[in-house]
Structures are given as structure tokens and as C-alpha cells.
């Protein structure tokens, strides 16, 4: 069966209905071919995709005055899978393409290790020295509760989201990053127990006492007053957490969170769509979504479906056994196969379908993309700028058909 992919030259002729008819008359001299309206529209759409580049869009983050690009540069591979030189090349390319938001964390690079902790920030710092700081929105994250990562603090004690931990985290982040302020400081994961990183259900037996929301917000307020932090946000958070932070800020006169950084993709939708969409709506709590893992750890690119394991031996899910294991299950794999088929049907690559889907969701402020090479980064950015916006009703109908069958397969 012939491939559904179409290859275009760098010089694309003007597309018109008459040109399409001429091409088909030449290609089929012995048999008359009649195109359906849908097929004709699809040919026009594919050609337009190859010849037209949209401009990067910028959106206000929650109720802050931060206008951030629809694509945020993720950096968690810097210092583990990427050298300093490679990191600089990707950061520079991102800026050239219009990205103005860079996301890091004190825990990076990933996987978290004492030997490499903080290298991501150092790589960003050495690049940031040659940039206009006020043109870049720099976001970082303070760790949540952790017994395994006590090495991050001078005390060597369990990580908590209290005043002492937050202050130490920020002071060290500022030093590593070589800047005197952070545009957006996020809590990487909550201080209280919540199901994280692949866990779906809340286990009531795991409830534990946590740092009060007001205490966390007061610590952030002190840093904002000192000019070291501009805005605050959360990550890997639930509806309960968002509403408590927002309500506490309102009652106590404390800083309000403006963002939430949660996983969202074709394979992970329910956790956000069920109720966080309503909670974070501009008319409700007005908290902007920074969607991470839009490619499901790279699985939605289709590369892990290849029978040749040698081709993906250095890919993240194979390089670090056990990491993001949820995306390697049989149902997640089957759903990915179905999404790849949808992409082929409309002349899209799997990456274009997956990133275009997240891009077009009305509740997504910015999508965080990560890469291990400029080539990979270019493919990701082009998926935002070189495909039709928004996707057609036909594309979305086929996506919804797959979703109704599999829902969130990576949590099964």
C-alpha cells in the first residue's frame, strides 16, 4: 500500500483548482479521476502547509502581565542528554523562532541525580549572559515534598514547601542562573500527597499533614517584595490545590498563582479536562496552563513503534529504564498507532498531529517542548507554525473517535 506522506520541493508552485486538475490529467491519461470535495480540500491543505509559515502567537499568562509565546522551551535534558554547546544551540534557535519563555527547575536535569543536579541552570546561565534578559520570560520550579532528594538542601533533610526551603531554593537558583530575578516561580509538585507521574487515583491512606497554603504563599510574597520573583504558579496540581491557593490568596491578601504546569497530550487528557478546565477558566480562577509532555515522552512521535530497536536505543524511554513507563503499555501503544494513522490520513506527521492538537486547545496558554537536537526542535516548532490553524472538523472528529475508544491509555 502506498505511503500517505507527501514530499514537497523547497519551491512550491501556486496551488489552484486548475493546477490540481492539470496534474491529475497528466498522471492518469487513460482513466478519468474525479476527486471528492474532501479529497480536493485535503490536497489544498497539504500544499498550503508546506508553503505557508504562520507567525508565533503570544498570550497573556493568567492575570499576570507576562505575554509568553505559545511555545515554551523545555530544558530538562540539558546536562544529561545534551552538552552545554548543544543546549546553547537549541536555546538560540528557539529565540530566533520567536520563543520567549524558557522553563527550568532546581531538580533538572532529569532523571534527578545528585551528581548532575543544577547543571541545566548552569548551561542556561552561560547562554543567558549574551542575551537581553528583559526579553526572556524565565520560569523555574522549587521541589515539592521528597524524601529521596534531600541532597538538594544544605540540611540534607526531607524537602518541604515551607519558607526555609523556598528561600534556599530561590537563592541557589538565582546564583546558578546568573540573574537577579525569576519571572515565574512554580511549585514543581505539591507538598501534600497527590497522585503523581503516572498514578491516577487518590489513595486516601496516603494522606499526610502538609505545609498550610497560607504559609507557602507568605514565603512567596516575601520574595516578590524583595524583587527576586515576579509571579508564582503550580505544577502537577489538582483542582483542590488550585482552588485552595486562589481562595487563600484572596482571603489573606497574598499573591495569587497565575499558572499551572501539568501534563497534557493526546494520551493524557482526562486529568485536566474533567474539572481543571473549569477551575482554571479565565472567568473563574484565571490560571494559565503550561502543558508539558505534549508528545507523551516522545511516544506520540511514533518512534517507539519501530521494530528496529537500534534506531531508538538513545531515546529517553529506552535510555532510562522505568522512566515514563506508563507510555510503553500495550494500550498506550495501540492508541498511538491509531493516532499515527489519523495523521497519515491528513498528510500530517505524528508530531504535527500531536502538537497541533495541544496548540489548538482553547485552555492551553503555552506548550512546553523539549528536544535533544536542533533538528528535533525545528520539527517541533514547525508543527506549530506550518500546519493549518485550527485543525479542521474532520481531523478533530477522527481524533475524538480514537479518544472515545482509549481515553487515557497511559493510566490503565
Residues 89, 80: Cα–Cα separation, whole Å:
16
SS (H, E, C) 13-44: CCCCHHHHHHHHHHHCCCCCCCCCHHHHHHHH
Is residue 188 within 8 Å of residue 235, measured between CB atoms?
A: yes
In the residue annotation, 108 being an active-site residue is answered as yes
The catalytic position among 5, 58, 93, 108 is 108
Is residue 256 within 8 Å of residue 243, measured between CB atoms?
A: no
| DSSP of 59-119 | EE-TTSS-EEESEEEE-TTBTTTB-HHHHHHHHHHHHHTT--EEE--TT-SSS--TTTTTH
Residues 335, 135: Cα–Cα separation, whole Å:
40
Is residue 302 within 8 Å of residue 294, measured between CB atoms?
A: no
Q: Name the DSSP letter for residue 197.
A: T
Please compute, for residue 374, the number of CA atoms within 13 A of its CA located in the half-sphere on the CB side. Answer: 13
Residues 118, 80: Cα–Cα separation, whole Å:
11
Residues 223, 215: Cα–Cα separation, whole Å:
13
Q: What are phi and psi of 249, to 5 degrees?
A: -60, -40
Torsion of CA 291, 409, 191, 223, to 10 degrees: 0
Return the beta strands (E) in 148-218 as ranges.
182-187
Residues 40, 223: Cα–Cα separation, whole Å:
58
List, by residue number, the catalytic residues.
108
Amino acid at each position: 500500500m502506498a505511503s500517505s506522506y507527501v514530499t514537497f520541493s523547497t519551491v512550491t508552485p501556486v496551488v489552484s483548482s486548475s493546477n490540481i486538475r492539470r496534474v491529475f490529467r497528466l498522471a492518469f491519461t487513460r482513466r478519468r479521476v474525479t476527486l471528492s470535495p474532501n479529497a480536493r480540500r485535503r490536497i489544498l491543505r497539504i500544499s498550503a502547509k508546506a508553503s505557508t509559515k504562520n507567525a508565533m502567537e503570544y498570550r497573556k499568562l493568567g492575570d499576570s502581565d507576562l505575554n509568553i509565546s505559545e511555545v515554551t522551551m523545555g530544558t530538562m535534558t540539558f546536562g544529561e542528554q545534551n552538552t552545554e554547546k548543544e543546549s546553547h544551540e537549541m536555546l538560540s534557535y528557539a529565540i530566533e523562532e520567536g520563543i520567549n519563555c524558557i522553563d527550568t527547575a532546581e531538580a533538572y536535569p532529569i532523571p534527578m541525580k545528585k551528581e548532575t543536579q543544577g547543571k541545566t541552570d548552569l548551561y542556561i546561565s552561560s547562554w543567558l549572559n549574551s542575551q537581553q534578559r528583559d526579553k526572556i520570560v524565565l520560569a523555574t520550579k522549587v521541589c515539592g515534598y521528597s524524601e529521596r532528594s534531600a541532597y538538594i538542601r544544605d540540611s540534607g533533610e526531607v524537602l518541604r514547601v515551607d519558607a526555609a526551603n523556598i528561600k534556599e531554593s530561590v537563592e541557589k537558583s538565582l546564583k546558578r542562573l546568573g540573574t537577579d530575578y525569576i519571572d515565574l516561580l512554580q511549585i514543581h509538585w505539591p507538598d501534600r500527597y497527590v497522585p503523581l507521574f503516572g498514578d491516577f487515583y487518590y489513595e486516601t491512606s496516603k494522606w499526610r499533614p502538609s505545609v498550610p497554603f497560607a504559609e507557602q504563599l507568605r514565603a512567596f510574597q516575601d520574595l516578590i517584595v524583595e524583587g527576586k520573583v515576579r509571579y508564582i504558579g503550580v505544577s502537577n496540581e489538582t483542582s483542590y490545590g488550585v482552588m485552595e491557593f486562589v481562595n487563600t490568596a484572596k482571603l489573606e491578601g497574598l499573591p495569587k498563582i497565575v499558572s499551572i504546569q501539568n501534563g497534557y497530550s493526546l494520551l493524557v487528557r482526562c486529568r485536566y479536562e474533567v474539572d481543571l478546565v473549569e477551575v482554571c477558566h479565565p472567568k473563574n480562577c484565571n490560571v494559565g496552563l503550561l502543558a508539558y509532555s505534549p508528545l507523551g515522552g516522545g511516544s506520540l512521535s511514533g518512534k517507539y513503534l519501530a521494530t528496529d530497536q537500534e534506531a531508538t536505543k538513545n531515546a529517553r524511554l529506552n535510555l532510562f529504564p522505568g522512566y515514563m513507563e506508563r507510555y510503553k503499555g500495550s494500550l498506550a501503544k495501540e492508541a498511538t498507532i491509531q493516532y499515527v494513522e489519523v495523521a497519515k490520513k491528513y498528510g500530517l506527521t505524528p508530531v504535527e498531529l500531536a502538537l497541533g492538537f495541544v496548540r489548538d486547545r482553547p485552555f492551553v496558554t503555552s506548550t512546553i517542548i523539549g528536544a535533544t537536537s536542533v533538528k528535533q526542535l525545528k520539527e517541533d516548532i514547525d508543527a506549530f507554525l506550518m500546519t493549518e490553524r485550527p485543525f479542521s472538523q474532520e481531523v478533530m472528529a477522527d481524533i475524538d473517535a480514537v479518544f472515545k475508544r482509549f481515553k487515557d491509555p497511559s493510566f490503565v
